[in-house]
Structure 1
Amino acid sequence: MTASAIGLLAIAGLFAMLALRVPVAMAMLAAGFFGTWMLNGPRPAVALLTTETFSSVSAYALIVIPLFVLMGNIATAAGYSRGLYDLAYSWVGRYRGGLASASILGCAGFSAVSGSSVATAVTIGKVAIPEMQRFGYSNRLATGAVAAGGTLGYLIPPSTGFVLYAILTEESLGRLFMAGIVPGVLLTALFVLTIMIIARIDPESAPAGRPVSMAERLASLTGALPLLAVVVISIGGIYAGVFTPVEASGVGAFLILVFALIGRKLNAARLRGVFLDTVKTSAMLYLIVIGAAIFSPFLAMTQIPQNLGDWLVGLGLGALGSLILILLAYIVLGMFMDALSMLVITIPIVFPVILELGYDPIWFGVIAVIVIEMGMITPPVGINVFVVKAIAQKVPMATVFRGVLPFWFAMAFCLALLVMFPQLALFLPNSMFD
């Protein structure tokens, strides 16, 4: 059996294990380990398992995972999401669709500390959806805005997607974080614009809120100030060159903990729960890193990425046509796979092809994260849709999926802009590091 045939067999086994609900980390580990065994025998397979396990989890850059997870968990437990939502509402709530726009802005703000789309959708959704329902918003717009807004947690730094992409490709995490800022702001603006268009077409679905005085707007800053300060200091510190991403994660986690303790937002029991959740999430992400570290070398041995690149070149589609074909494949995969699985399984296959096509790896990191975000609201998997459905239990699933459809097209438009104008993603990292 040829190396490529063994590789395809291992990939088929990987997807079969995923279909049987085997955790993605263990599925990748098994496929990589036994695939290497079939290629080179048991001794190289065991050597790969032991060396890659140690080297991958002992990497200094991985410290950002537990620290950024801790920062997001503290912010969630301390209830800072309410302050962000109130601040956003005080400025845009008086307009039609203002509550939905405030939800998007709240998601964007919370994304800057959580790094997780699910955490963002849950945290903001618990605050925003009942408010929108109380003020007469349509269930379709209320749930769709929160489900779509939650995806910003995967794009706006500190993004878990960027952390894993940096580990899988050995690219600069700092450059990836900087590359995600402008697209994150752009996608937030497109979501708000989508809400404005919906409110214009169907005014009854998005009633206007009460006017808020300037004094109330300024007062709303108090509740959001701790979280805003942490975002400005940690992410701003990376851009200013004061912190590395690892240092920024430590500074951010420390500051949010200090603010929460001073403000008496956390008691001993809640703090213990925060630490336990952080350990569980970090362990899961570390295991995914181990699985990817064993699966990626095996794929390289099979020459599947190289063969895929040669096949795409042979189609005569050119670099742009090949990229579009890859993105379409991602969109299809997003219908059946969750975001983490898509990222860690596909990047080892696709990344060498992207380099061969001559694309910037940092730019493609942003592109990959956005197209994976689209899968988070694409049926039938659409993890964010299921998260929002759990919050709004009386809203039919079909209504939530209809609600996210306009935002899905907004994401597709954002993706197209980034393909046409790569500097939207590359301007900040290039100005900072070059």
Structure 2
Amino acid sequence: MEWYVVGLGMLGLLMGFILIGLPIPFALAAASIPFLLDILSLKSSLVTVELKLWGVWFNYILLAVPLFVFLGELIGRSSIGPNLYWFMHSKLPIRGAAAYGSIGACAGFGAVCGSSMVGALTIGGVALPQMLKLGYGKRLSSGVLAAGGTLSVLLPPSLILLFYGIVTDQSIGALFIAGVVPGLILVTMFFIIVFIWGKVNPEDIPGHENATPIPWLIALSALLPIVLVGLVITISIYAGIATPTEAAGVSAIFMLGLAFSFGGLRLKGLLEALKATMQTMGYLGLLLSSGVLFGFVMTYHQIPQQFTELFVDMQLSPYAVLAMIIVFYVILGMFLEPVSMTFITLPTLFPLIHAAGFDLIWFGVVYTITMEIAVLTPPVGLNLFVIQSLARDKVTIGDVIIGCIPFIAALVVLLFVLIGMPDTALWLPELME
């Protein structure tokens, strides 16, 4: 069977299964099995499926995923996350402190947790009701928090960068550190957007906020765990002391102790954090397993290699190829969430980027920013619905979408900065070497 027949057939089946409402992990597996049976007997196919599905659960590198998710859940279930926002809000003696504090809290949370959704839920759950109560505009409040959650995806550790590194076989440590400078630039751009918003629509930012000052002892109970765990992750990975998995394990245990000691975590909160982690990993585990199976069938038929050769023969310029891929992901991101896109499309497209002459570490950051745009674009923008669900009676999904537009524009500007100046992402990894 020709490679393009297999490729189009798998893609057609996948889209058909998704359209009829089949969950993506099962859609991936169901689209793979008919073409797996074409190359193997039924008995061999069953064995292959078992090996591919279970092999993911024993992958040492992927063990970092549930550990980082658990780390984020511990912060969310304890008082560390809420107190981090309280500190950022009450200790900023400027107009718009709650908005700036939300961005700062999301950035701080992103330094220890790689999940955009967990970041948006943890900080947004505290900040959104408070900002609305203080008199902030609904669109500004929801837009800041939905976009702020994406900082967890770019600032290390990042689950998307982790998945990208696994699929493309790139150094996860190098990918993490490559996201630092773009992440800090994005935080600065978000601050500028809030400042400009306050000038254009002054009614959306109250002139005076009656924020209760946070006692310094409580502030330290929030800052200390975040700083310590952030240092443990950063130093251990970049100094070569530990792998990302080992760093995630040590950080999770460390945060568990800090959450009980400083964050008021109790047994009930720990059990809820474990339950939430297992629920998240139940979906992610199935998605990863079926994605590996999908990739195995594509690789057997050499679809990525043939697809790359086809584009090389067309003799397109490297930047034309890059532009096509970015537009493709932005459009696809309107319908699929980032993890699914990573395992469905990246095995086919990253060889094309490599053949075009682009650095794969640099493209990892570009790819991650594109995924950030995906979680902010309807109709399947995860962060949009996460934030709207926190205040259904006061904020509509339209408010969240409109509020996110300036922040999406900032992400697009950052993409152009990275394309025009690749050293923005590559300078720090090269310096660390």
Q: Any conservation in 2 of the 1:155–1:370 contact (CA below 8 Å)?
A: yes
| AA partner of residue 407 (structure 1) | F
Q: Any conservation in 1 of the 2:134–2:210 contact (CA below 8 Å)?
A: no
Pairing of 1:152-231 with structure 2 (within 5 A): 152-210=151-209, 220-231=219-230
**CA–CA separation in structure 1 for the residues paired with 2:246 and 2:186:** 27
Residue matched to 2:280: 281
Q: Does 1:413 align with 2:397?
A: no
Deviations 1:399-433 (A, max 9, x none): 2111100000000011111112222222222333x
TM-score, normalization by structure 2? 0.93
**CA–CA separation in structure 1 for the residues paired with 2:299 and 2:428:** 32
Q: Does 1:150 align with 2:167?
A: no
Residue matched to 2:252: 253
Please, which moves more after superposition, 409-418 or 307-316?
307-316
| AA partner of residue 128 (structure 1) | A
Residue matched to 1:71: 71
**CA–CA separation in structure 1 for the residues paired with 2:95 and 2:357:** 45
| AA partner of residue 26 (structure 2) | M
Residue matched to 1:22: 22
Q: Any conservation in 1 of the 2:87–2:214 contact (CA below 8 Å)?
A: no
Q: Any conservation in 1 of the 2:86–2:214 contact (CA below 8 Å)?
A: no
**RMSD of Structure 2 on Structure 1 (CA):** 2.3
Distance change (3 Å), C-alpha of 1:333 and 1:216: same
Q: Any conservation in 1 of the 2:83–2:218 contact (CA below 8 Å)?
A: no
Q: Any conservation in 2 of the 1:140–1:402 contact (CA below 8 Å)?
A: yes
Q: CA deviation at 1:247?
A: 1.7
Q: CA deviation at 1:352?
A: 1.3
Residue matched to 1:32: 32
Q: Any conservation in 2 of the 1:6–1:39 contact (CA below 8 Å)?
A: no
Q: CA deviation at 1:138?
A: 0.8
Pairing of 1:314-353 with structure 2 (within 5 A): 314-353=313-352
**CA–CA separation in structure 2 for the residues paired with 1:213 and 1:398:** 31
Residue matched to 1:2: 2
**CA–CA separation in structure 2 for the residues paired with 1:215 and 1:383:** 32
| AA partner of residue 274 (structure 2) | F
Please, which moves more after superposition, 421-430 or 218-227?
218-227
Q: Any conservation in 2 of the 1:91–1:212 contact (CA below 8 Å)?
A: no
**CA–CA separation in structure 1 for the residues paired with 2:253 and 2:226:** 12
| AA partner of residue 74 (structure 2) | I
Pairing of 1:390-405 with structure 2 (within 5 A): 390-393=389-392, 394-405=394-405
Residue matched to 1:371: 370
**CA–CA separation in structure 2 for the residues paired with 1:403 and 1:377:** 10
Deviations 1:118-158 (A, max 9, x none): 11111111111122112211111001100111112222222
Distance change (3 Å), C-alpha of 1:30 and 1:80: same
| AA partner of residue 32 (structure 1) | S
Q: CA deviation at 1:313?
A: 3.3
**CA–CA separation in structure 2 for the residues paired with 1:396 and 1:214:** 31
Gaps of 5+ in 2: none
Q: CA deviation at 1:330?
A: 0.7
| AA partner of residue 21 (structure 1) | G
**CA–CA separation in structure 1 for the residues paired with 2:263 and 2:138:** 35
Q: Any conservation in 2 of the 1:168–1:293 contact (CA below 8 Å)?
A: no
Q: Any conservation in 2 of the 1:143–1:400 contact (CA below 8 Å)?
A: yes
Q: CA deviation at 1:13?
A: 0.7
TM-score, normalization by structure 1? 0.93
Q: Any conservation in 2 of the 1:338–1:376 contact (CA below 8 Å)?
A: yes
Q: Does 1:428 align with 2:428?
A: yes
| AA partner of residue 106 (structure 2) | C
Q: Any conservation in 2 of the 1:175–1:362 contact (CA below 8 Å)?
A: yes
Residue matched to 1:88: 88
Secondary structure of 2:100's match? helix
Q: CA deviation at 1:40?
A: 4.7
Q: CA deviation at 1:8?
A: 0.9
Report the identity percentage: 35
- Number of matched pairs: 432
**CA–CA separation in structure 2 for the residues paired with 1:292 and 1:117:** 21
Q: CA deviation at 1:209?
A: 4.3
Residue matched to 2:100: 101
Secondary structure of 2:156's match? coil
Q: Any conservation in 2 of the 1:147–1:384 contact (CA below 8 Å)?
A: yes
Q: Any conservation in 2 of the 1:96–1:203 contact (CA below 8 Å)?
A: no
Q: CA deviation at 1:230?
A: 1.1
| AA partner of residue 13 (structure 1) | L
Q: CA deviation at 1:272?
A: 1.6
Distance change (3 Å), C-alpha of 1:262 and 1:309: same
Q: Any conservation in 2 of the 1:187–1:410 contact (CA below 8 Å)?
A: yes
Please, which moves more after superposition, 355-364 or 20-29?
20-29
Secondary structure of 1:317's match? coil
| AA partner of residue 83 (structure 1) | N
Q: Any conservation in 1 of the 2:115–2:152 contact (CA below 8 Å)?
A: yes
| AA partner of residue 9 (structure 1) | G
Pairing of 1:107-118 with structure 2 (within 5 A): 107-118=106-117
Q: CA deviation at 1:316?
A: 4.0
Distance change (3 Å), C-alpha of 1:52 and 1:69: same
| AA partner of residue 118 (structure 1) | M
Please, which moves more after superposition, 23-32 or 212-221?
212-221
Q: Any conservation in 1 of the 2:107–2:155 contact (CA below 8 Å)?
A: yes
Residue matched to 2:312: 313
Please, which moves more after superposition, 255-264 or 46-55?
46-55
Q: CA deviation at 1:39?
A: 4.1
**CA–CA separation in structure 1 for the residues paired with 2:141 and 2:47:** 52
**CA–CA separation in structure 1 for the residues paired with 2:218 and 2:44:** 63
Q: Any conservation in 2 of the 1:75–1:113 contact (CA below 8 Å)?
A: no
Q: Any conservation in 1 of the 2:221–2:263 contact (CA below 8 Å)?
A: no
**CA–CA separation in structure 2 for the residues paired with 1:286 and 1:430:** 33
Q: Any conservation in 1 of the 2:3–2:306 contact (CA below 8 Å)?
A: no
Deviations 1:278-318 (A, max 9, x none): 22222322222211211112112333323432343344430
Q: CA deviation at 1:7?
A: 2.0
Q: Does 1:57 align with 2:57?
A: yes
**CA–CA separation in structure 2 for the residues paired with 1:195 and 1:383:** 22
